[in-house]
């Protein structure tokens, strides 16, 4: 099992194994992956590609790789497996960066999730899709393009990557309807396209976990998004579309300084949503956890504990579901978090969304994740 291997690696690194005597082994350093494993789960993070030594959240940056090695047993590519990265043209694939990442994961005994096979929004598809000529039989040409893509990507990594975000973010947050793209228009609707994506993935990797991944969250103003995701998941079940799990991205947004109070307030509605999802037989994953530290003072001494308490409250709810097996952060350190550029703080202070700070020091958020795993009931199997 991966977790054991990584525990052993950590013990060797820290010299703990050397101390082995006839007496009981000393306690192992509490890592997030160890804590997750004890509750029958896995912990991981996204990682990206860069040239060796670059100051990036990349496996080729030794400082970042050390964080991954310490705390993770599961990785996911931040961008390298998306259409924009893999498909420079309609007829070609560029797997170089993704291959390097997979080689790193294999060499260091990480498991990997695949992200993603179809991010179904115009702005996340390669530019050539917008002007693509689907010819006289657009439906079959769109089906050919999408299914070839999925078969090729899954086929390349399918012996190693056992779970895929097949479709990413296709529900409009404002009204819960589905996005359209040139692919869905050519196919005469979004549902037929999504169904094709999942069926193709199932055929290409019959044993893999197939995930619909989205960012509907528990904060206010997510109601329409959640309702839309529930309708989509119901439709999958009705049509027999092979979808195993909902990926709950978990890009959280703090509400104020009282992190645990806010978490408690948001819990009932959130449980209703999760109950509906699991009631349909879906498994759950936390795929992209990070925290937008809004409505909080800039001072880290005040900000970090609020972020940690909010994270803890959230994970306590998530980990109360035995259907939840994987928890991944969208980056381990504030230094490389996408949130810094995507949504800067209004006061201009650097964001603090991740378990480690920009100097690779653990923050209260890391303690919160550790404690949440520690408190979670042990899973069978
Ligand atoms: C983000 C990456 O972190 C950025 O570097 C990139 O510019 C855009 O995508 N939901 C997802 C992820 O499913 O793929 C996104 O990742 C974050 C939101």
Cα of 79 to ligand 1 centre, how many Å? Answer: 7
Q: Whose CA is nearest to atom 9 of ligand 1?
A: 79
Would you place residue 53 in the very low, low, confident or very high pLDDT band (cuts 50, 70, 90)? Answer: confident
Strands (E), 105-258: 111-115, 163-168, 209-214, 245-248, 251-253
Residues 366/367/373/376 CA torsion (nearest 10 deg): -140
109-156 pLDDT per residue, tens? 999 999 999 999 999 999 999 999 999 999 999 999 999 999 999 999
Q: Whose CA is nearest to atom 15 of ligand 1?
A: 78
270-311 pLDDT per residue, tens? 999 999 999 999 999 999 999 999 999 999 999 999 999 999
Tell me the two tokens of residue 240: 């027999």
Counting ligand 1 atoms within 8 A of each CB, the residue from 342, 343, 353 with the most, and so the one to mutate, is: 342
The predicted pLDDT at position 27 comes to 60
Please state at what angle helix 223-239 crosses helix 190-204, rounded to 10 degrees. Answer: 60
Tell me the two tokens of residue 128: 């050539």
Ligand 1 atom with the smallest distance to the CA of 330 is 3
The predicted pLDDT at position 89 comes to 98
The predicted pLDDT at position 23 comes to 59
State the burial class of residue 52 (Cβ atoms within 10 Å of its Cβ: 0-12, 13-18, 19+).
exposed
Cα of 288 to ligand 1 centre, how many Å? Answer: 9
Counting ligand 1 atoms within 8 A of each CB, the residue from 286, 338, 351 with the most, and so the one to mutate, is: 338
> Which residues does 316 contact at the CB level (< 8 Å), separation at least 6?
263, 372, 375, 376
**Are 229 and 269 contacting, i.e. CB atoms less than 8 angstroms apart?**
no
Q: Is the pLDDT of residue 6 over 60?
A: no
Q: Which has the closest alpha carbon to 2: 128, 110, 140, 127?
A: 110
Q: CA 224 to CA 216: how far, in whole Å?
A: 9
> Which residues does 201 contact at the CB level (< 8 Å), separation at least 6?
117, 150, 154, 164, 166, 208, 210, 242
75-88 pLDDT per residue, tens? 999 999 999 999 99
164-193 pLDDT per residue, tens? 999 999 999 999 999 999 999 999 999 999
Counting ligand 1 atoms within 8 A of each CB, the residue from 58, 330, 331 with the most, and so the one to mutate, is: 330
The predicted pLDDT at position 334 comes to 98
The predicted pLDDT at position 10 comes to 43
Please state at what angle helix 300-319 crosses helix 364-375, rounded to 10 degrees. Answer: 20
The predicted pLDDT at position 19 comes to 40
Phi-psi region of 40 (alpha: psi -120 to 50; beta: other; left: phi over 0): left
Average pLDDT of the segment spanning 31-57? 97
Cα of 378 to ligand 1 centre, how many Å? Answer: 31
The predicted pLDDT at position 380 comes to 54
199-210 pLDDT per residue, tens? 999 999 999 999
The predicted pLDDT at position 24 comes to 65
Q: Is the pLDDT of residue 356 over 80?
A: yes
Ligand 1 atom with the smallest distance to the CA of 48 is 5
Cα of 280 to ligand 1 centre, how many Å? Answer: 28
324-338 pLDDT per residue, tens? 999 999 999 999 999
Counting ligand 1 atoms within 8 A of each CB, the residue from 78, 123, 215 with the most, and so the one to mutate, is: 78
Pocket residues: Cβ below 6 A from ligand 1: 78-79, 168, 249, 288, 338
Residues listed for the chain: 381
């Amino acid at each position: 099992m991966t977790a054991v291997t990584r525990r052993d690696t950590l013990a060797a690194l820290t010299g703990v194994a050397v101390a082995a005597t006839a007496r009981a082994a000393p306690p192992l350093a509490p890592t997030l992956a160890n804590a997750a494993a004890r509750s029958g789960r896995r912990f991981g993070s996204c990682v990206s590609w860069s040239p060796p030594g670059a100051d990036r959240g990349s496996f080729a940056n030794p400082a970042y790789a050390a964080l991954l090695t310490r705390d993770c047993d599961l990785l996911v590519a931040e961008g390298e497996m998306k259409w924009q990265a893999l498909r420079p043209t309609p007829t070609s694939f560029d797997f170089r960066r993704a291959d390097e990442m997979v080689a790193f994961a294999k060499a260091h005994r990480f498991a990997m999730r695949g992200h993603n096979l179809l991010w179904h929004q115009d702005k996340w598809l390669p530019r050539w899709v917008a002007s693509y000529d689907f010819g006289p039989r657009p439906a079959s040409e769109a089906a050919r393009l999408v299914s070839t893509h999925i078969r090729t990507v899954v086929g390349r990594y399918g012996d190693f990557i056992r779970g895929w975000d097949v479709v990413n973010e296709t529900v409009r947050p404002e009204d819960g309807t589905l996005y359209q793209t040139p692919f869905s228009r050519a196919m005469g609707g979004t549902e037929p396209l999504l169904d094709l994506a999942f069926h193709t993935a199932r055929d290409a990797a019959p044993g893999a976990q197939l995930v619909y991944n989205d960012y509907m969250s528990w904060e206010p103003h997510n109601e329409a998004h959640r309702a839309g995701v529930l309708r989509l998941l119901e439709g999958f079940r009705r049509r027999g579309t092979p979808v195993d799990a909902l990926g709950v991205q978990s890009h959280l947004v703090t509400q104020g300084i009282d992190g645990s109070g806010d978490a408690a307030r948001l819990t009932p509605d959130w449980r209703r949503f999760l109950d509906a999802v699991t009631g349909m037989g879906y498994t759950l994953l936390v795929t992209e956890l990070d925290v937008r530290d809004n409505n909080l003072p800039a001072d880290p001494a005040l900000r970090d504990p609020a972020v940690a308490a909010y994270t803890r409250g959230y994970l306590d709810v998530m980990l109360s579901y035995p259907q939840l097996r994987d928890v991944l952060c969208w980056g381990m350190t504030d230094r490389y978090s996408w949130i810094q550029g995507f949504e800067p703080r209004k006061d201009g202070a650097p964001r603090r969304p991740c378990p480690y700070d920009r100097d690779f020091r653990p923050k209260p958020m890391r303690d919160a994740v550790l404690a949440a795993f520690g408190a979670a009931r042990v899973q069978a199997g």
